[in-house]
Amino acid sequence: EQDQEVKARKCSRHGVIFTNISALARKFGTDRKVLERLFEQYADGMASADIDYRLADASDYVFRSKGAGRKSDRVSLGERATWVDYQHILYDIICLEREKGLPESNYLFIIGGHDIVPVPAINHYINDPELGDDDIETDLLYAYPYGPHTQKALESQQLYKQEMYFLVGRLPVPTDADMSYLTNYLQNALDVRGGVPVTKVYSQCDPHWKELTAFLMSPYNELGMLPDRGNISGRFCYGNVMLGPEITSEHIASVMEKDTDLIFLNLHGSDRPSDSGYCGEFPPKTHQYREIFPPSAMRIPQRYNIFVAEACYGGRFIGYDTLRSMIQSGLAHKTVIGLASSRSAFGMSRPPASSA
């Protein structure tokens, strides 16, 4: 314990790698020791970026704080465990750090999809059967590990008045992934541990949202980060933002640069398992759609990149393989940061963008 305490004080920022190693080992068909060494190597690498990560394994965890009320209890969470069970472990970590005067962890890096570390869900704030969604998946309940009541507190937005302990990120794992998916991503993250430099932007949107998208991209446009599309007809481009549905999967490789390091898409998504890519309305104003940006397009950029999508269900990953999930397709290649919605996404069609 003393060695860990001394090591932790060498960095000014601290975080927790949170997973279930037994479940992850079964998924990948490997030994837990292999995963433990991999996470240790990742933590060693991140220390050079002034972040000290330590591993919290929900399949072999001993409660050590007084505040969590379960001191010395050893748990091995299995398939029946809920997000509340996992949240309790995080609360123990917080309590132990404060009781012993240890540096407090700010970052929470969850590794695994819903089958490894449960993704909490809260009731949807819009009560409309036509919406099609009755809940919202969110890891925010791990940022505020106060117990079961945090769900209702978040639904009423009262939770935001309390202290947020963690900045949370998750690496989902596709249903068809093997060990190389994890090792590839962790190495990519280490390669850009100091940050992802953005110099080249690819943006595409449905024509309905071209004004808003161009507005959002204007700072990058002014810096010359979007390729100059001045020679392309307005039917295909607006303010250097490519338009769907005219630009389809057949054209993506010719308009997206290989050195792209920021992808911003404002297209349509779908919750149908048979649909995998993003769509555009075609013909316009008919409510008929065709795929224009397939998951395979995420393999075009050869530089580490950030992926942002304002698309309904654009960030879905639970129960999907690599090629049925846009965000997992990117993470399997060169994407190191992804931001997208797993439910219907809402926003304005014209500036300002305050409600997006």
Q: What tens digit of pLDDT does each residue of 134-184 get?
A: 899 999 999 999 999 999 999 999 999 999 999 999 999 999 999 999 999
Predicted confidence at residue 239, as pLDDT, reads 92
> Average of pLDDT values for 110-115?
98
Say if residue 284's pLDDT is above 80: no
DSSP H or E segment with residue 36: helix 32-47
How far is residue 313 from each of residues 152, 252, 270, 275, 299, measured CA to CA in Å? 24, 21, 6, 11, 20
Mean pLDDT of the chain: 92
> Average of pLDDT values for 219-225?
97
The tens digit of pLDDT for each residue in 197-210 reads 999 999 999 988 99
Q: Which residue has the tokens 């795929």?
A: 291
Q: Which residues contact 144 (CB under 8 A, 6 or more apart)?
A: 150, 153, 154, 159, 162, 163, 164, 165
**Is residue 23 within 8 Å of 35, Cβ to Cβ?**
no
DSSP H or E segment with residue 54: strand 51-57
Per DSSP, helices labelled H in 206-255 are: 210-222, 252-255
Predicted confidence at residue 56, as pLDDT, reads 98
Which amino acid, one-letter code, is at 209? W
The predicted model scores a pTM of 0.93
Say if residue 346's pLDDT is above 70: yes
Query: Which tokens go with 296?
Result: 């395979």
Q: Which residues contact 257 (CB under 8 A, 6 or more apart)?
A: 200, 202, 227, 301
> Average of pLDDT values for 333-352?
87
Predicted confidence at residue 355, as pLDDT, reads 54
Say if residue 7's pLDDT is above 70: no
Predicted confidence at residue 4, as pLDDT, reads 44
Q: Which residue has the tokens 């299995």?
A: 78
Predicted confidence at residue 295, as pLDDT, reads 95
Predicted confidence at residue 2, as pLDDT, reads 37
Predicted confidence at residue 235, as pLDDT, reads 86
Neighbours of 221 (CB within 10 A): 18
